[in-house]
Chain A
Amino acid sequence: MANVQDGAVAHDLPLRGTNADAESFDIVATYHRLLKEDPDLTMPMAAIEALIEFLGHSQVKTVYETIDLVKTQSEKLQAAVRNPIALSHGTDLFCQYLIMSLKQPPSGSNGSSSGGGKPPVDNNPHESFEVVRQHLLRNSRLFATRAKNARERIAVNGRKHLHDGTTILTMGGSRVVGNLLARAAAKHDYGWYTDPPRRFRVIYAVDPALAAQSDEVVASLRSQGVQVATIPFTALAYAMAKVDKVVVGAEAVTANGGIISSMGTYSLAVLAKANRKPLYVAAEQHKFGKTFPVDQFDFSFDQGVIDFYSANNSQSKDGRGKKEPMPDPIDFTPPELIEAFFADHKVLTPDEVAKEVIDMLM
């Protein structure tokens, strides 16, 4: 396992002869390429797609080898990025999915698991396993495309909670929230009846770091005839009295029903709570994961946001230089501050999220 970790450089370790393909496969590069190619792709989905691509490349012969390799690749991927939370939610979900589907294959898990062995030199075509694997690959693609449609379903689920004449506050560059508001402002055809457009106003708190994304969302909303006001982050508390509901997006949803989101979401949530305005989170189900931070600093990485130093010495005492701040800092919003989640499968409370995470992933 440990050897494969450094696999990117250590090509000379012929651990699994026939898996040269898998060894040379660069999961990290694939992940970044996927994210770049498709700006609509979320981090967990990019991780899942990268893993599927990897499975297509590898010639694994047994069930356990497959799971083993997927786990190794996931670890490699997680080690390569600074903030692996969202990504790990994707890889965890995929692993769980793999295990579940390999546990109850149509037939032949016996032959593949016991008969295979590590060096599959004997060219024994484990057809039964191959069937499972092909089935898996096909299903995995389906899984990925389904997840991509999630945003539309969130828009449908969420619009019921946006009422006429209300003022919605949002922030950050969340595409899910942008889509939700845009769809709510248009009419929706349920088939049996057409839901009229919602008439609401939007206050958009603009984070200078995410200005490009938020400008896009604001422009698209205004083009649809939605009244949008942009305010600086500093005016949040000031504007709160005019707000009826707060809607934000999330990078990842934690096991206790909290969210990990772009820096500032927590402040917004605290302000909303203090003003007794409900905070809704629009997030896809695949963002749910086992991460359970107990506070803002309970992460495996240091964001470098708080960095003490004085003019006298830019070098701090114990020899460490100035911390390098993370380009896209995050914070953790605890479940107490969240009213409900608009997910793609349903609208649920933080407690239900916790339950779902246990059922799905543990």
Chain B
Amino acid sequence: MSTEQNGAPVEAAPKPSSAPKEIPKEAPQEAASAQNEKANKEKPAGTEAKANTAESKPADATGDKKLTGAELKAKAKAEKAARRAQQKTSKEVAKGEAAVSSSPAQLGPSASEVKAKGKGKDGASAAAGTASRPGLLKAPPSAIVTEQKIQIPECFSHLSMARRIPMTQADKDVHPSVLMLGQQMATFTIDESTTRLKATMLAFRKVIESYNTPPGNVLARHFTPHVLNIQIEYLTACRPMCFSMGNAIRWLKLQVSKIDMDASEDEAKKDLCQAIDIFIAERITVADEYITEQGAKHIQDGDVVLAYGRNTLVEKTILYAHSTGTKFSVMIVDDPYERLGQQLAKTLAGEGIKVSYSGDFGGLRSHIRQATKVFFAPEAMFSNGSMYSRAGTCDVAMVAQELGKRAIALCETINITERVATDSLTYNEIDPERSSAAAFRLMFDATPDKYLSLLVTELGSVQARSAPDLLRKLEEFN
């Protein structure tokens, strides 16, 4: 928290006037204490940084002990002021950098501050994590740290970002299957909300299987705080949880707490695993099948179905409608940042469905004008009926509404959250791969319910704004 603009010192260093209010002796302390906080989470990108870590530790130890509560407060104030000043300059610098690519020379003096950062949940905290990401780099490896810094304005600091955590940095109690899952999530190999949910539940099942209650403890009391939470923390650090995972984890914790204290451990574990199996079957597998069938019913002969990007549920629905003999064609408008629609186009064309493809939003209006129905499968549904989905969905839905086309959302009820979002900024995620010092990209947007005609869930087809009613219904079942 204390050093949110962690990137600032890096760029600011060459300009001596950049942080005039900063008390000289505090600069190393600030960096060091922050570093201490994060010591086990962050990843040293180069040897330089590692060496720095080692150097800073002693300083930190002495510095922290001397401070009393009041001093700490004063220090925090000073730091805040310093940060503000830094921010201002860093913005200027960032602008400059966009024009002139930074030189490795900048790295030298600033290395000590590079790693300073706030708590794991901060948007800024993810910056160091991304340092390990290859791809966008032009500079030599040693420059990675500075080059990769993603400047996130403070007003967006609540948004989080996926980052790679090297396995060696993870908590020792993280289960191997969760470790792997974390990597897959951080790299977006496992991406869709339901896929992530299913993988998470399966990984947790393994965790339960390999769990042994330490002597003097009971599973119901020990498992959640000492084992499950560690796994969850790690997964969250790799990539912020999606809403369905949050729902499922709440459910799982409830199941654990409900275990009979007198039940034997084996029995309890068996019951939990079984509960997870049933959960996956009911809330994902069967739900998907039902939604697919119901969704396909809305595709009639002669329809032109428009899909935005690729989503498993939409793909399944289209394939199912095709398999029932309905004659229709598909139009795919793709997300230019992530051309997953190509994959969908290939699959559908392979099945003999007539497909037209557009790589971006060029001519969106005329594409949608030719379509008859638009299908979405959101990442989550908010309680006010807003649809949380791939960035760009709202644009498509708005145009569809304006042209009188029906927008149909397919969504398992596990993806419905009790939270509310009226804009796209309350909940979102920063794309770690397509963000730079000058700009960053958000991965999702929220589509207000008025742009949706229908929400198909495994409980039935309802209006989008009936999402809270479904939640209430689900609670009644339990």
Shortest B316–chain A CB gap in Å is: 19
**Residues in B whose Cβ lies below 8 Å from that of A294:** 298, 373, 406, 408, 453-454
Say how far A296's CB is from chain B's closest CB, in angstroms.
Answer: 11
Contacts of B373 in A (CB 8 A): 294
In the complex with contacts A355-B466, A362-B473, A298-B298 CB distance below 8 A = yes
Cβ contacts under 8 Å, A362 to chain B: 459-460, 462, 470, 473
Instruction: Specify which chain A residues have a CB less than 8 angstroms from the CB of B460 in the assembled complex.
Output: 255, 290, 292, 358, 361-362
Scan B456-472; emit 1 where CB is below 8 A from any A CB, else 0: 00011111011001100
Write out, one digit per residue, whether chain A residues 278-313 have a CB within 8 A of any chain B CB (1) or not (0): 000000000000101011011010000000000000
Known A-B contacts: A292-B460, A354-B463, A362-B470. Give 15 more (CB < 8 A).
Answer: A256-B462, A256-B463, A290-B460, A292-B462, A294-B454, A298-B300, A300-B297, A354-B466, A355-B466, A358-B459, A358-B470, A358-B473, A359-B473, A361-B460, A362-B459
Q: 18 interchain pairs (CB within 8 A)?
A: A255-B462, A256-B454, A256-B462, A256-B463, A292-B461, A294-B373, A294-B408, A294-B453, A300-B297, A354-B466, A354-B469, A358-B466, A358-B470, A362-B459, A362-B460, A362-B462, A362-B470, A362-B473
What residue of chain A has the Cβ atom nearest to residue B457's Cβ? Answer: A362
* A358/B406 in contact, CB under 8 A: no
A281 to chain B, nearest CB (A): 17
Binding site for B on A (CB under 8 A): 255-256, 290, 292, 294-295, 297-298, 300, 351, 354-355, 358-359, 361-362
A355 to B298, CA, bound (A): 22
Please measure, in the bound complex, the distance between the C-alpha atom of A359 and the C-alpha atom of B460, giving whole angstroms.
11
Q: How far is B469's CA from A194's CA once the two chains are assembled, in angstroms?
A: 40
- Shortest A90–chain B CB gap in Å is 17
Give the chain A neighbours of B406 by CB distance below 8 A. 294-295
Band of interface residues on B: 10 to 19
**CB of A320 to closest CB in B, whole Å:** 11
B67 to chain A minimum Cβ distance, whole angstroms, is 58
Contacts of A354 in B (CB 8 A): 462-463, 466, 469
Asked if A358 contacts B469 (CB within 8 A), the reply is yes
In the complex, what residues of A have CB within 8 A of residue B300's CB? 297-298
Q: Chain B residues near A297 (CB, 8 Å)? A: 300
Q: Whole-angstrom distance between the alpha carbons of A21 and B406 in the complex? A: 47
- B298, B406, B460, B463 — which one has the most chain A CB atoms within 10 A of its CB? B463
Residue on B with the closest CB to A356? B469
Min CB distance B232 to A, Å, is 32
Contact partners of A290 in chain B: CB under 8 A: 460-461
Which A residues are CB-close (under 8 A) to B469? 354-355, 358-359
Q: How far is the CA of A94 from the CA of B298 in the complex (A)?
A: 25
Cβ distance B295 to chain A, nearest Cβ, rounded Å:
11
B373 nearest CB neighbor, chain A only: A294
Q: Which residues from chain A contact B466 at a C-beta distance below 8 Å?
A: 354-355, 358
Chain B residues whose CB sits within 8 angstroms of the CB of A351 once the complex forms: 465
Q: CA A263 – CA B300 in complex, angstroms?
A: 21
Question: What is the minimal beta-carbon distance from B405 to any residue of chain A, in angstroms?
Answer: 9
Residue of B nearest to A334 (CB): B453
Nearest Cβ on chain A to B63's Cβ, whole angstroms? 60
Task: Report Cα–Cα, A290/B453, bound state, in Å.
Answer: 15
Closest to A297 in B: B300
Residues of A within 8 A of B459 (CB): 358, 362
Residues of A within 8 A of B298 (CB): 294, 298
Q: Is the CB of A255 within 8 A of B297?
A: no
Q: Verify B473–A292 contact, CB threshold 8 A.
A: no
Closest 10 CB pairs of A and B: A292-B461, A362-B460, A294-B406, A358-B469, A294-B453, A362-B459, A256-B463, A294-B454, A354-B466, A290-B460
Residues of chain B contacted by A300 (CB below 8 angstroms): 297
Query: What 0/1 readout, one digit per residue, does chain B (436-469) give for beta carbons within 8 Å of chain A?
Result: 0000000000000000011000011111011001
In the bound assembly, the distance between CA atoms of A298 and B300 in angstroms comes to 7
B306 to chain A, nearest CB (A): 14
Distance from A258 Cβ to chain B, minimum over Cβ atoms (Å): 10
A358 / chain B contacts, CB cutoff of 8 Å: 459-460, 462, 466, 469-470, 473
Name A355's closest neighbour in chain B (CB-CB).
B469
- Kindly report which residue of chain B lies nearest to residue A299, judged by CB atoms: B300
* B461 A255 Cβ-Cβ under 8 A: yes
| Set of chain B residues within 8 Å of A355, measured between Cβ atoms | 466, 469
Q: How far is the CA of A13 from the CA of B460 in the complex (A)?
A: 34
B473 CB contacts on chain A under 8 angstroms: 358-359, 362
CB proximity of A67 to chain B, nearest CB, Å: 18
Instruction: Tell me the complex Cα distance, A328–B142, Å.
Output: 77
Say how far A353's CB is from chain B's closest CB, in angstroms: 11
| Nearest-neighbor residue (CB-CB) of B458 within chain A | A362
A361 CA / B466 CA spacing, docked (Å): 14
- CB neighbours (8 Å) of B465 from chain A are 351
Per the 8 Å Cβ criterion, residues 392-443 of B in contact with A are 406, 408
Measured in the bound complex, the distance between the Cα atoms of B297 and A290 in whole Å is 14
Give Cα A355–Cα B300 distance, bound, in whole angstroms.
Answer: 28
Min C-beta distance of A242 to chain B, whole Å = 30
Residues on A with C-beta less than 8 A from B463 are: 255-256, 354
- Bound: A86/B366 CA distance, A: 38
User: Min CB distance, A78 to chain B, in Å?
Assistant: 14
Cα distance, A23 to B453, chains bound together (Å): 42
